[in-house]
């Protein structure tokens, strides 16, 4: 079986800044037909989205899928809650981890895997302000080092 191509639809860069990602899972997502067509055109955002587990089901809130132009009456609410499809054991593992203090589940990216829409979900632990400052300092150091390297090689 050939490796299926992954076509990125949307990603959430803010997650890397706000959380330490411990473990990632791949989940399917229950969508209507017009939502899939809209996603094929790249009209999706997960910047403000979050995930809750209710009655053993994983629900994604705040994911915005723009209405499909030619969808008229078949278009759904752009911000409606959407069910994520995961194995029961994975859900139970997430429930156990969330019960611990400081853990949460966040959507990282949405992509096509073949013809299916998948959501990469991460078990994450929130960063404190000083952790964020350390990350920013490291990024600045790296940028500075690259700049020095570039100047030395050109001169």
Helices (H), the chain: 14-18, 33-40, 88-98, 129-154
Which segments of 18-133 are extended strands (E)? 19-29, 44-45, 50-54, 57-61, 64-65, 82-85, 103-113, 116-126
Tell me, what's the pLDDT at 4? 63
pTM for this predicted structure: 0.67
Residue 74: pLDDT band with limits 50, 70, 90? low
Q: Is residue 17 predicted with pLDDT exceeding 60? A: yes
Alpha-carbon dihedral angle through residues 45, 62, 21, 134, given to the nearest 10 degrees: 80
Question: Is pLDDT above 50 for 105?
Answer: yes
- State what percent of residues in the chain have pLDDT above 70: 89
């Amino acid at each position: 079986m050939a490796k299926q191509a992954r076509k990125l639809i949307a990603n959430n860069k803010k997650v890397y800044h706000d959380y330490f990602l411990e473990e990632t899972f791949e989940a399917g997502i229950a969508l209507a037909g017009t939502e899939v067509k809209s996603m094929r055109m790249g009209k999706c955002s997960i910047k403000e989205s979050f995930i809750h587990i209710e009655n053993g089901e994983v629900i994604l809130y705040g994911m915005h899928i723009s209405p499909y132009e030619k969808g008229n009456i078949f278009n759904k609410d752009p911000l409606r809650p959407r069910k994520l499809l995961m194995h029961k054991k994975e859900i139970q593992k997430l429930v156990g981890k969330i019960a611990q203090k400081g853990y949460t589940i966040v959507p990282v990216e949405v992509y096509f895997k073949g013809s299916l829409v998948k959501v990469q979900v991460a078990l994450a632990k929130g960063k404190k302000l000083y952790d964020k400052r350390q990350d920013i300092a490291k990024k600045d150091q790296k940028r500075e080092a690259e700049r020095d390297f570039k100047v030395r090689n050109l001169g």
